[in-house]
Amino acid sequence: MDQSNESHEPVIVFEDVSIAFDGKQVLSGLSFTLLHGQTKVLFGVAGAGKTLVLKLALGLLRPDSGRIVVLGNEVTAMKEHDLFALRQRIGMVFQESALFDSLDVEDNVSFRLREEKVPREEIDKRVTDALRFVELEKTLKLFPSELSGGMRRRVAIARAIITNPEVLLYDSPTAGLDPVTSTTIIELLVKQRDVYKTSALLVTHRLQDAFTMATHYFDYDKNKMLPVPRGWDWDSKTSFIVLKDGEKLFEGDAAEIANSESSYIREYLTL
């Protein structure tokens, strides 16, 4: 895969970000940079602040201190009206999919486009393209209650990518799914990363998902995810951040986390 044209410009920057709730420090001095085309995977036990990072990146919450820059915009200094415009450039896949039960697949996927008054003909084309990407183009008129858990997650991904976002935020997209279905979802994330070069933050509890992303690539010609062959000069564009007690305990690639000497990380990897 030719990656020579990929930009190394920062897409999301956290600089010394801290936030507390009811006197309890949830994030303390968090700093990291997500570059164009990269995926960063956020690990940590419940309450470590993983989902909070996504909310801060969207500007849904403001930190007590520090600076957050998203797509060249300083989120921590923006007004709500400007934040709304910025969010149009970001796709969000919520935990448990968060589909509208009363809307069929077509209306769920097209929701943002209809809100933006996009012409009907363009909406139809983009819905078809998004559902084809997740291999669910025959589900247009089905309702969420008629879909399996994995299918609902795929519809949620279609809804997130239909606006051609520059950044995707995934909040535990494989939570509660069986291993086979989880792999199907991860394949879509790898496809989005490698085919469209979309930057992403991924919150997950599943180590296997993250390591799969780091050791596989999407072969466009074969239309499937494949293991990176031995000997390839391969930069998977997937790295890892481990949060502990609100602080960044680790940041690095798959080999570095696998070989970490931290007792906490070693214990975490065996959970």
Tens digit of each residue's pLDDT (9 = 90 or more) over 223-254: 999 999 988 877 778 999 999 988 999 999 98
For the chain, how long is the longest CA-to-CA vector?
56
Whole-number pLDDT of residue 8: 72
Rounded CA-CA distance 90/101 in Å is: 23
Full DSSP string of 73-130: EEGGG--HHHHHHHHTTEEEE-TT----TTS-HHHHHHHHHHHTT--HHHHHHHHHHH
Domain chopping of the chain, boundaries? 10-89+168-269, 99-164
3-state secondary structure of 47: coil
Closest CA to 33 of 201, 247, 209, 271: 201
Continuous segment of H or E residues that includes residue 26: strand 24-35
Whole-number pLDDT of residue 2: 39
Whole-number pLDDT of residue 268: 80
Q: Tell me how far apart the terminal alpha carbons of the chain are, to the nearest angstrom.
A: 34
All residue ranges of the chain with pLDDT < 50 are 1-5
Rounded CA-CA distance 100/181 in Å is: 22
Whole-number pLDDT of residue 45: 85
Rounded CA-CA distance 183/208 in Å is: 9
Q: Specify whether the CB–CB gap between 158 and 132 falls below 8 A.
A: no
Domain 10-89+168-269 grouped into CATH 3.40.50.300: yes
Q: pTM score, two decimals?
A: 0.90
Rounded CA-CA distance 161/148 in Å is: 20
CB atoms within 10 A of CB 185: 22
